Structure 1
Amino acid sequence: MGGAVALLLHRKDPTFWDGAVLVAPMCKISEKVKPHPLVVTLLTQVEEIIPKWKIVPTKDVIDSAFKDPIKREKIRKNKLIYQDKPRLKTALELLRTSISVEQSLSQVSMPFFILHGEADTVTDPEVSRALYERAASADKTIKLYPGMWHGLTAGEPDHNVHLVFSDIVAWLDHRSHLRRRQDRASMVPLAACTDRCGGRAAAADSPASPEPPRQAAAGGFLCGLTGRANHQQCRM
């Protein structure tokens, strides 16, 4: 549900993220596995009575998510990973969250990169396609990996994991370079900063000030253009 959490935060505050890398996100319930409305209604009627009952039928996620058998067994031996059926209340909350995210896919406006294995049976690749097609983002990318399962970054053979991380790093690196160029272009020159700061930050070749020397301030203050990426710090 990491993808769903990221999208919910973005919906609450569109400026919260500069961008997102979404690996097999569960942002919509596939029609192939969506429970019948009657079943949901019945379970909802008893969720407050038996919230912890493990009565929701599910397949073994570890067997379905981790393709590499050695890595799969390592995951299965990890005692910190919950491996039982989901409790009723948990399953219904996951369903409600997914439906809520699905209804707001068109509101997604941040840059994002979706990666999904075409052989994923945990979250349907069609879910990622739906996000890509509906999102309002001007900068959006999707890559589907033939034959790969759900655990792209941990459950695939090493050469597949390397390929996935290489794609992620390349996507981030390209946008980091663009961001740095934008930051450099928008930085305020020292002279302009001096003017804005009332002449307190004197240039190196300026005559000495007749005022008595001041003790350097412990902190600094921001001056220059508005915006967190465009601030230049001037010290007293």
Structure 2
Amino acid sequence: MAAAQMEELTSGASGRIIPVFSKPPAIAPFLPLPPRRSRLHPIRLPLVPPPPPPSPPLLLLSAAFYAFRGVAGAEARFVVGKREEEDTLRRRALAEGLQTVDETDDWASRCRWRTSLFFGVRSNALFWRSWFPVTGELKGILVIIHGLNEHSGRYAHFARQLTSCNFGVYAMDWIGHGGSDGLHGYVPSLDHVVEDTGAFLEKIKSENPGIPCFLFGHSTGGAVILKAASYPHIEQMLEGIILTSPALGVKPAHPIVGAVAPLFSLVAPKYQFKGANKSGIPVSRDPAALLAKYSDPLVYTGPMRVRTGHEILRISAYLLRNFKSVTIPFFVLHGTADKVTNPLASQDLYNEAASTYKDIKLYEGFLHDLLFEPERDEVARHIIDWMEKRLTAGNHENVKSQWSNSFDAKKV
């Protein structure tokens, strides 16, 4: 693929998630506008008696019209719902058929994997997959929450490195992503994703008693797990969290867009902004990784939906206001050349968080998808090293970071 073509591809968590409307959504039925008045000639209503009530035949005709409109609306909703259900089943079949372990590879004999469904807090079916080492003592479990518009199957290479170091891996597709329920690329609420993440973690802990668990989140997934870990019942189930390129401090394209986003997310939540994912921001320096991502049918490449964009702005702003209340041990990794999410916001999180065990690693010149950069194995090794050091820290209370002498806290 030519370089010019590759530059048109970008991730959905861009800071320009809500560009200026190319075409305003049709909201007239929801928000009728008052008639315009002339300042020189104000409207004077004539003093006339009200019209007589409609005759019984007219009443029946009116009732029939509204009944027909209600039936037509119900039929339209049924058709849309049927299409969404068919799309979900198609994506689920693709997710289940995705071969994340090559049968001819020696890893197939050293790893056991499976896929299944988990029902979230709103009884929505969520697709998940896992990879576990066949032999050796299990050190811990890493639960992966992917970024916006992608899916769990993209992290198979990372899972291979983790299982090779005796870590088990679970990865869940959020609502509207991968093989999970919902309209593709549509997130009605990131708080729902936060709650589903907590419920999924509880399921994992109940099935693996006594095994230490970590949460990993990329981009918007990083924002999700950071908010999830702010709840005490979730924090106490974790040894720590790992965030790569987290969506913190995301800003709208224009201040007025941020002002009207809450309204449009209510009246036209599924409306798509044309060009929202075509702003030309590259997410990896590896052309093969970009081609693999954007030719993947399970990766959503359509325009950003209004509600999805508003939800990213909302959770990002919430976290930015609450950095000082973060107490969980964490490791945040970010590329300094990332144009999708802001590495300075990751630095602010590290500086302001109240956590006594925290680390940051900034990669000079790296882009957004750190685990899909040419140096992906090095990034994965740093994450594994951090988890292993976290597990050997002993008493985790009031333990200072062991990495302060290993890495420059600002830049590598």
Q: Structure 2 length normalisation: TM-score?
A: 0.40
User: How far is the alpha carbon of 1:45 from its aligned partner?
Assistant: 2.6
8 Å CA contact 1:66, 1:151 repeated in 2: yes
**1:32-71 C-alpha deviation (Å, 9 max, x unpaired):** x444442222233333222111127635388521220011
Q: What pairs with 1:201-216 in structure 2 (closer than 5 Å)? A: none
Query: Aligned residue for 2:295?
Result: 77
Q: Structure 1 length normalisation: TM-score?
A: 0.68
Query: Aligned residue for 1:26?
Result: 247
Q: What pairs with 1:103-122 in structure 2 (closer than 5 Å)? A: 103-122=321-340
The reply on whether 1:41 has 2:256 as its aligned counterpart is no
Query: Aligned residue for 2:356?
Result: 138
**1:164-221 C-alpha deviation (Å, 9 max, x unpaired):** 1111111111122234xx59xxxxxxxxxxxxxxxxxxxxxxxxxxxxxxxxxxxxxx
Distance 1:80 1:118 in 2: 28
Out of 382, 391, 409, the residue aligned to residue 167 of structure 1 is 382
Query: Aligned residue for 1:2?
Result: 221
Q: Any gaps of 5 or more consecutive residues in structure 1?
A: 184-236
Distance 1:84 1:165 in 2: 29
The reply on whether 1:177 has 2:392 as its aligned counterpart is yes
Judging changes above 3 Å, is the alpha-carbon distance between structure 1 residues 56 and 38 closer, same or farther for their aligned structure 2 residues?
Answer: farther
8 Å CA contact 1:56, 1:87 repeated in 2: no
**1:136-191 C-alpha deviation (Å, 9 max, x unpaired):** 0111111111111111112x11xx11111111111111122234xx59xxxxxxxx
Query: Aligned residue for 2:214?
Result: none
Secondary structure class of the residue paired with 1:178: coil
Distance 1:61 1:101 in 2: 25
Judging changes above 3 Å, is the alpha-carbon distance between structure 1 residues 127 and 86 closer, same or farther for their aligned structure 2 residues?
Answer: same
Q: Any gaps of 5 or more consecutive residues in structure 2?
A: 1-219, 397-412
8 Å CA contact 1:10, 1:16 repeated in 2: no
Distance 1:152 1:61 in 2: 20
After the TM superposition, which parts of structure 1 deviate over 6 Å for at least 4 consecutive aligned residues?
Answer: none
8 Å CA contact 1:63, 1:72 repeated in 2: no
8 Å CA contact 1:62, 1:75 repeated in 2: no
AA at the equivalent of 2:231:
K
RMSD across aligned C-alpha pairs, in angstroms? Answer: 2.1
Judging changes above 3 Å, is the alpha-carbon distance between structure 1 residues 91 and 112 closer, same or farther for their aligned structure 2 residues?
Answer: same
Over the matched positions of the two proteins, sequence identity in percent amounts to: 31
Count of aligned positions = 175
